[in-house]
A and B are shown apart, each in its own frame.
Chain A
Amino acid sequence: MGEDYDVVVVGAGFGGPVAAHKCASAGLKTLVLERSITPGDKVVSGLVIPFYGFLFAPPFIRDGNPPLQKPIRKVVNHFVKNGEIYASDKSLWLPPPLALTYSAYCEPMCVWLADRAVEAGAELRTSTAVMDLIMEQDRVKGVVTDKGDEIRAKVVIDAAGTQDGLALKAGLRRKLPPDALELYMLWDFEMAKEDVDSTFGNSVEFYCAMPDEKITAPLGYGSTFYIFTYRESIHPGLGQFLVTEGKIPHVARLLEEYFENFTNTVSRWKNDIAPKLKLRAKMFDVCPIYAGLDRRIREMPIYGEGMLIIGDAAAMESSAFGDGVPNAWFSGAIAGDVAVEAVKAGDASASFLRRYDERVKAHSVISASLSDTRRWDMRWALPGNDEREMRRRAHELFGRGVWRYRHITGQVLREMKTVLSRDPMVAGKWMKMFNRYNRNCESGYSDPPSSYEPAPKAGIYSEGREAVIA
């Protein structure tokens, strides 16, 4: 009872440890609270993390050896009719050692990030859920845990992810509207490294089809069926918005149906992929993909008296690619800096913390990723079942069209220029990073994790519906 910290960070997912790393590195007394047993074992995600996340995040990520799986250099868009691929758009690619994005599992990534925060001096408490806030005269003064502990802090950083309820308790934000939210179903299959390499190379695949094919959600109302590739596994997924064309469909049934139809009809899956697979895991989660396109959500505050909200808790999901990790890192770093300034100034009032909001809004890559409408626009192919329109839109989204796109790509390139004009030496560090990541992905090397209790390697279950294993 009665503990005191400079900063309490709620959540050791992707963003929380980055904020904590900043605070602890500046000498603040920093505590990270995480409800899961091991950081990241409640984070269900894609996951591929785009290269620009690594370029612009705090340097400890760029210069370290995070547990990445595979450098992805090509995006393949397959267009499917009657189960056959009738055309493919493979125009988006980068040559080695560059990569568009890197695949990874959440648990080891979050452990790696949390380890770096602890190394910098932060304290990490797992298996601890924050249930409430200490509020005094409408100011956030700390948190209350599920064990009833009251922990006071000058600044609380809310990094609790999409299903966050703390910002609601603080009266800052409201429950997200369902039309901004996509429900994803994900699978993890073991596949021998040689098979992954010969079947996919260093690419990920997206399967686009018209609704009557029934292998994915209607275009623009969910991600197309995708296959992310890892070192020795693949990670297919598909999703549908909770609200589709104004209605709440039976999403639970539809996702199962799409997967069944896909695996039963698409010949590339049946012949080239499925025979080499062994199912390892099946999961689901909700992701606030279109939050950035929704004015109701954009207008919700991301700071208040004594509180900063980062990452998914602040609905900073990129609305075209659905990648939220870079924004969780960027906003976590900004929040960390602002918390340090606030503690030094002895002022955690909302008027002082407003600079967090200003810096987030001025961050060109965050802003551009939130306002990107290309995925939403896929729906314009639906009226008239327009296949040419579908292919044109897919080319804009996941084909070479991205390099022309004024939004995110333009901002990433501009940001690279800005960073390089400030410090030309960074170019060398970036190239070193690309090379080191390549070597690490090939060999499976990453910085050794601290001792922690990993979730079980695979589901062990009996023939019945349930089995007790421990």
Chain B
Amino acid sequence: MTKTYQDFPGVEWVEGSGRHISVAPERCDGCGNCVRVCLAKCFKISSKKAVVDNLDMCMECGACWYVCAPEAILFSWPPGGTGFRTRWG
């Protein structure tokens, strides 16, 4: 299954990517950096902790991971052949 979103024309997401990014709540200090850098609006803050809302439009850029000082974000790769793809990069 493949999905596209109006926010990002020309890009498609192949389903099956699962949860390649997650937040370890015990390490999250609620700074909100991940929310501020994620152009795909993947995070939200709930009870002073970041949670992954959805990874629907995640472009695997890693920005959230880089700005998380307490290493609360676990960043990995979705399985091969899944996740975002585009021919206009």
Could you list which residues of chain A lie within 8 angstroms of chain B, going by C-beta atoms? 34-38, 40-45, 47, 105-108, 126-129, 131, 145-147, 162-163, 165, 175-178, 181, 183, 185-186, 188, 242-243, 248-253, 255, 279-286, 454-461, 463-470
Contact = CB atoms under 8 A, between A and B. Distances in A.
B29 to A, nearest CB: 13
22 contacts: A37-B81, A44-B59, A105-B87, A126-B81, A128-B80, A165-B75, A183-B63, A248-B33, A249-B36, A251-B63, A253-B36, A255-B39, A281-B88, A283-B10, A283-B11, A285-B89, A286-B62, A461-B5, A466-B4, A466-B6, A468-B2, A469-B12
A35 B77 CA distance: 9
B37 A242 contact: yes
A200 B8 CA distance: 26
Which of B9, B14, B38, B83 has the most chain A CB within a 10 Å cutoff?
B9
A282 B11 contact: yes
Q: Which 6 A-B pairs have the closest CB atoms?
A: A281-B10, A127-B81, A459-B9, A281-B88, A44-B89, A41-B85
A42 B77 CA distance: 12
Given A145-B80, A146-B79, A183-B63, A105 B3 contact: no
B89 A185 contact: no
A243 B69 CA distance: 12
A47 B88 CA distance: 10
Majority SS at the chain B contact face: loop
A165 B77 contact: yes
Nearest to A288: B66
Given A248-B37, A283-B88, A284-B59, A465 B67 contact: no
Contacts of B59: 44, 283-285
Contacts of B66: 175-178, 181, 242, 286
Interface residues of B, number: 44
A470 B89 contact: no
B42 to A, nearest CB: 10
A105 B89 contact: yes
A145 B77 CA distance: 11
B86 A252 contact: no
A455 B86 contact: yes
Nearest to A243: B67
A128, A286, A463, most chain B CB atoms within 10 A = A286
Contact of A107 (B2, B35, B86): B86
A278 to B, nearest CB: 10
A248 B67 contact: yes
B4 A461 contact: yes
Contacts of A280: 9-10, 88
A24 to B, nearest CB: 21
Interface string B1-43: 1111111111110100000000000000000010111111100
B1 to A, nearest CB: 6
B14 to A, nearest CB: 7
A176 to B, nearest CB: 6
Contact of A286 (B3, B5, B63): B63
Contacts of B37: 183, 242, 248, 251-252
Given A178-B66, A466-B56, A41 B39 contact: no
Given A163-B62, A454-B87, A469-B12, 14 more contacts: A35-B81, A44-B86, A147-B80, A163-B61, A176-B66, A186-B89, A188-B88, A248-B33, A281-B10, A282-B10, A286-B66, A459-B12, A461-B4, A466-B3
Nearest to B9: A459
B14 A37 contact: yes
A213 to B, nearest CB: 22
Nearest to B56: A466
Nearest to A108: B87
A10 B9 CA distance: 29
Contacts of A457: 87
Contacts of B35: 252
B5 A279 contact: no
B11 to A, nearest CB: 6
A252 B58 CA distance: 13
Contacts of B61: 44, 163, 183, 284-286
Contacts of A470: 1-2
